Chain A
Amino acid sequence: MKLSTYHILIIAGILTTMSCKKDNYDEPGVLLQGHVVYRGEPIGVEYNQVPFELYQDGFGKTGPINAVFAPDGSYSMLLFNGEYKFIIPNGQGPFKWKQTPAGAPDTTFITLNGSQQLDIEVTPYYMIRNPQLSQSGGTITGTFKIEKIITDASARNIESVSLYINKTQFVSGADNLAVKTMNGSDITNPENVNLSVAVPTLNPAQGYLFARIGLKIAGVEDGIFSPVMKLDL
């Protein structure tokens, strides 16, 4: 049988009629978003390094929905309405997440019924206050104040502070053009820390750079970061 336009039209017609939407699920459409914050102030973290997990019970096996915080400390997920449990796994993030007496990460319950804005409150070891980044004469200078938040027995020292620059907005120890690092022991006045780094030759040339300040805490894997700032050269 020759496949004529007529046949094709009939087949297309049948397919259109038969593929009704009954067998398709709606995509998730409820937006859960927010920031990881300390007293309302977002905590900057490294790109792709600080994960969190959402669990939803009632579907047989237990497994997390994995995601990470963005460099500005924000997160967002498209979900279905329902009950969720939120945790930040042990040892992740430059902050303390509440724990159960047994030492497991404690759960925040989230009931989603429509889109929701939810900030995650944590206690960071330090905060980078009032970061000022400026450019002059091919040198980028960062000035900031370090505030120690956790001062009890679980307090930790500063391992180092660094000023990173990069051509893209992903700025970290792994992605940078140049970096200036100062050891924590060399910080004389945490109220006023200065770092500067020379801008290397850019190839291909571009008229701007991104910079941010990172603070590494001794014994904690993830660093605390200032917001990424775009600087014109």
Chain B
Amino acid sequence: MKKIFPIIIAAVLTNTAGCKKDSEFLDVQPASILTNQQAFSDPAQVLSILADLYNRQLDFSGLDNGWASFADFSESFPSENGSANIVQRNEWGFREWETWDYGYIRDLNLFIERATEATALAETDKKRFLAEARFLRANYYFEMVKRMGGVPLILQSLKYDFSGDATSLQYARAKESEIYDFVISEAEAVKNDLPANPNEKSRATKGAALAMEARAALYAGSIAKYGVNTPQVSLPGGEVGIPAAMATGYYTKALNAAREIISGSAGAYALYNIKPDPGENFASIFLDKGNNPESIWVEDFKLRSGRVNGFTVSTQPRYGAEEEEGGRINPSLNLVQAFEKLDNTFAPIPNTDVSGNPVYYSSLSAIFAGRDGRLYGTVILPGSSFKSRPVDIWAGYQLADGSIITGDDRGAQKTLPGQSAPVQVVGFDGPVSAKEFTAQTGFYLRKYVDPTPGAGSRGTNSEIPFIRYRYAEVLLNAAEAAFELGQPDVAAGYMNQVRARAGLIIPLTARDITFDRIVHERRVELAFEGHILFDRKRWRLAHLVWDGNKMTAADLLSNIGSATKRSTQPFGLWPYRLHDPGNPDHGKWTFKIVLPVTVTGTNRFRLGNYYSFIDDNIRANNPKIVRQPNQ
């Protein structure tokens, strides 16, 4: 009996100690991964999840996704030898501009589901986070429908059951109109859950939701109205193409949404009108971060945070730049001459007089005088300044017999006839043929190029934001919708506000408002902001403007201001100085229209380009996805 006691004790101890179930024993909370409830318990935590989703928004042109997205469409010439393809190809591939990021859609859906289930969040925080995520999802669907037409509309996270049959995950494409309807209805649904605060720029606001709604409804309306011009660009199931009968409804929604912003119900947005000079003022819209009533929703950057953009490094004037690069975007003469004269008429840049003889100007900038202030604000013209320092754009000397003396390097020197010492014969900013980073069209870009010291150096970069929606576009959206609804007087009222800010103070009357005017106004106001492709697509003008035929100088100079004017190759305007001692014009400037030598291709927008190619893999995986038309 003596031994039994310790045995019993040992047995009891074993039983007590080993009573934890195996599954419990192994179930240890990881220290480095948060559960959904934990992640969605603290507003700061949720905001950081949301920040990632903000970051993944797609822009056509963004300051951080490469300068080249700004450079296409004959609106500019890419002055970098590695990107000459942009002006040497003869067409855009069908894959161009595709997007199919359902991983992002899934993450947005998951966020919405998890935030909805979260119990520890305050109701006001939760509402705002949910509204933001729904806004981001709608905005990305908008981006998809612009590029791909109707896409599968997935509004909850999908789960695979590993049964070997993925049919339940295969969704067909929604109609193009259904995606637009979704974007519009989401904007309506979330607008009142978002703050009506014009000082909130980088997070979604009521203004942003309404601006998205106005733009989306306008796009849908114009596809419905102008789709009849390209009946081939449609699919029988409506995945591509919107019935013409729906146009009025969409235009009405666009006008109402834009009016809601204009009326101030989303906060006091206004046109940026701070500097007295219209050109300087226009350039400042894109540079002024602190005090900008015009921008509605931006992609923001911050110095020394790791989130900066190198756009200025890529595009600053090359001479005196903070790096051994810059000057990559050279706006084309096609765009420059589209800026109106102050009397609201269109005219070529007057390098010759009526009988075709060259005109000599005593200053480089005189030839561009008397035009829309947005020309100065968008383009760095010869004879103008950047960072208070004149750019040095001129192509050479022209002698009395018409021959040219120029150099093949920036600021090259040669001896002029009748002189003994060499002098500079070409600007330090060029233009020099095929010399990258020089102004090969005779122009540099000013819009979005940051003059802040250090912005042009790779180690610092720039923190100016990319404006996704701004008030002037809302006004133009309202003007276009009103025009299409047969209210040209209303349209004129909105358009004149934008134009007066640009220095075009003679108002347009209702009779002046035509479709061509609307097209023109968006082109010059919104140049280099990622609109031109989508605008030309929705008006079904793209295949006419970029028709793949070569251009001559006579083509270039005719029909300026016409919506269907061909623009397949970017031209330039090169200044030369006359060297002819004794001639009264000696030392004055003359200008020649040139096609940069590296421009060997033409832009051809095929009907199959209207909606980007859906990858064969996607269609092989999901046979319900119908193919795009004309591809």
Contact = CB atoms under 8 A, between A and B. Distances in A.
B550 interface: yes
A62 interface: yes
B604 interface: yes
Interface residues of A, number: 18
Contacts of A221: 543, 606-607, 630
Interface stretch (A8-16, A141-149, A172-180): A172-180
Nearest to B617: A61
A61 B620 contact: yes
A92 interface: yes
B94 to A, nearest CB: 10
B630 A62 contact: no
A116 interface: no
Given A173-B550, A175-B90, A91 B608 contact: yes
B236 A103 contact: yes
B549 A91 contact: no
Given A174-B549, A174-B601, A175-B90, A90 B630 contact: yes
Contact of A174 (B231, B548, B607): B548
A173 B550 CA distance: 6
Given A221-B607, A221-B630, A174 B616 contact: no
Given A61-B616, A174-B550, A90 B607 contact: no
Interface in B205-247: 231-232, 236
B616 A63 contact: yes
Given A63-B616, A64-B616, A175-B90, A91 B629 contact: yes
A157 to B, nearest CB: 15
Interface in A55-71: 60-64
B156 interface: no
B57 interface: no
Contacts of B616: 61-64
Interface in A149-190: 173-176, 179
B594 to A, nearest CB: 15
Contacts of B550: 173-174, 176, 179
Counting chain B residues whose Cβ lies within 8 A of the other chain, the interface size class is 20 to 34
A89 B606 CA distance: 14
Interface of A is mostly: loop
Nearest to B236: A103
A48 interface: yes
A63 B617 CA distance: 7
A219 interface: yes
Contacts of B608: 91
B631 interface: yes
B170 interface: no
Interface in B225-281: 231-232, 236
Interface of B is mostly: loop
B461 interface: no
Interface string A47-89: 0100000000000111110000000000000000000000001
A90 B629 contact: yes
A63 B618 CA distance: 10
Nearest to B568: A174
Contacts of B604: 174
A89 B626 CA distance: 13
Contacts of B620: 60-63
Contact of B621 (A61, A91, A173): A61
B602 interface: yes
A168 B620 CA distance: 40
B607 A91 contact: yes
Nearest to B89: A174
A201 to B, nearest CB: 15
Contacts of A91: 232, 607-608, 629-631
Contacts of A60: 620
A60 B236 CA distance: 28
Contacts of A179: 549-550
Contacts of A89: 627, 630-631
B550 to A, nearest CB: 6
Nearest to B603: A174
A225 to B, nearest CB: 14
Contacts of B543: 221
Interface in A15-42: none
A176 B620 CA distance: 40
Interface in B548-594: 548-550
Given A89-B630, A90-B630, 13 more contacts: A48-B90, A61-B621, A62-B616, A89-B627, A91-B629, A103-B236, A173-B547, A173-B549, A173-B602, A174-B548, A179-B549, A219-B231, A221-B607
Give the top 7 A-B pairs by smallest Cβ distance, nearest first: A91-B630, A61-B620, A63-B616, A173-B549, A174-B90, A174-B602, A62-B620
21 contacts: A48-B90, A60-B620, A61-B620, A62-B616, A62-B619, A62-B620, A63-B617, A89-B630, A90-B629, A90-B630, A91-B631, A103-B236, A173-B547, A173-B602, A174-B90, A174-B601, A174-B602, A179-B549, A179-B550, A219-B231, A221-B607
Interface of A: 48, 60-64, 89-92, 103, 173-176, 179, 219, 221
